[in-house]
Amino acid sequence: TTHFLIATVPPKMAALSMTSGVALGSRAVAGRKVTARKAIASKPRASVAVRASGDRKWNFSAGPAVLPLDVLEDAKEDLINYKGTGMSVMEMSHRGKDFMKIAEEAEADLRELVGIPANYKVLFLQGGASSQFAAIPMNIAPEGGVADFILTGAWGKKAYAEAGKYMTANLAASSKDSNFSTIPDVSDWKLTKDAKFVHICSNETIGGVEFKEVPDTGDVPLVADMSSNYLSKPIDVEKYGIIYGGVQKNIGPAGMAIVIVREDLIGETHPLCPTMFDYKLMADNDSMYNTPPCWTMYTSGLVFKKLIKMGGLEAVEKMNEEKAKILYDAIDGSDGYYVNPVDKKYRSLMNVPFTLGGGEDLEKKFLKEAAAAGFESLKGHRSVGGARASIYNAMPKEGVQALVDFMADFKAAN
């Protein structure tokens, strides 16, 4: 039997917030009809195969990732004629008063949202987080020296390898022996007394491992790559020397990194430091030494405003904990049908990898049928395989519940 759900959504319901209670199947833009896909199980549920809205899917991509629908609607509204200027944000001069206001508001809103102290600079930089792997040692270790690295996954490994080109990178701790499924206990870290910094990746996107507490590194600056859990929970900025991350996972479109750096750490650079990597130069020019990633700055600014209206990062964290619990409970309650390999103490709220106990062929069938049912990008990273659901801020609870329902019905049918 084929089951369909058809709903017409009034215009005032078109912009869906992250925390909306709109029922599955009614998440739509004005005037569109929402049609459920055919369910795959012998006892289909309407919620399982419902698409997000019209042609929109439940997007579990690790990055670029889902953006809030109401933010996309606001951006769409401004796309051709921004606030009556007669220009798109993508067309206006970055030094004109209209874009300067956008940039100033974006930084002010980010400072308010996170609680960034005045002695920290906020930089909106091109190149993503991977560029910062080189920029960080060039800025805070201009004469080389030693930096300690805690490796808990693929991105920490890349940062460690890149820093080694410009200074001595010390492997202070690693969870490689556990296939990066946990975080080494701080008491086992082999830290260097006079290190220039200690580097961690606060959330490993591929492995789904997340630091739950900020490690105390004493007088040595702590540097954290927060690309995949940026703005997913409160940040105690003063415990860090540098916080950085690409925005394409949890904030905005691809093309930009946000660096929050304590101002006493900048001012001198490595002799070979490219001009575009010079934090002091970028800070002195308000991130506009050259043309910045204007559209990404603008869209990220819309997200900052949204998160403030939602109640700030405390409210965001609560929402994310609720979503993650739904998915982890489903995995843990499947009697081994679905398996999450991560130490429960360090499970990520953002990236949930899982395998199917039935083996690779069953995983392929699961991913194929999930894609057909409207669940996008559930395939695990090419380096580890399996499946992975990235449930960033903009993924509504309804999307996670729809995935869990699909998983239950797939299990029942297979």
- Supply the residues annotated as catalytic: 155, 225, 249
3-class SS of residue 379: strand
Task: Tell me the C-alpha to C-alpha distance, in Å, between residue 374 and each of 57, 336, 399.
Answer: 5, 25, 10
For 194, residues 6+ apart whose C-beta sits below 8 A from its C-beta are 145, 146
Task: Tell me the C-alpha to C-alpha distance, in Å, between residue 406 and each of 44, 75, 229, 367.
Answer: 9, 32, 26, 11
**Half-sphere CA count of 291, side-chain side, radius 13 A:** 9
Q: Residue 232's closest CA among 213, 206, 209, 251?
A: 251
The amino acid present at 145, given as its one-letter code, is G
Task: Provide the CA 188 distance to its chain's centre, in angstroms.
Answer: 29
Task: Tell me the C-alpha to C-alpha distance, in Å, between residue 31 and each of 11, 64, 248, 362.
Answer: 7, 28, 30, 39
CB 322 within 8 A of CB 397: yes
For 193, residues 6+ apart whose C-beta sits below 8 A from its C-beta are none
How many Å apart are CA 198 and CA 173, to the nearest integer?
A: 11
CB 23 within 8 A of CB 350: no
What the block records as the tokens of 213 is 């507490």
Looking only at the bridges linking them, the beta strands covering 209-210 and 203-204 are antiparallel
For 119, residues 6+ apart whose C-beta sits below 8 A from its C-beta are 262, 263, 264
Give the angle subtended at the CA of 401 by the CAs of 397 and 404, to the nearest 5°. Answer: 145
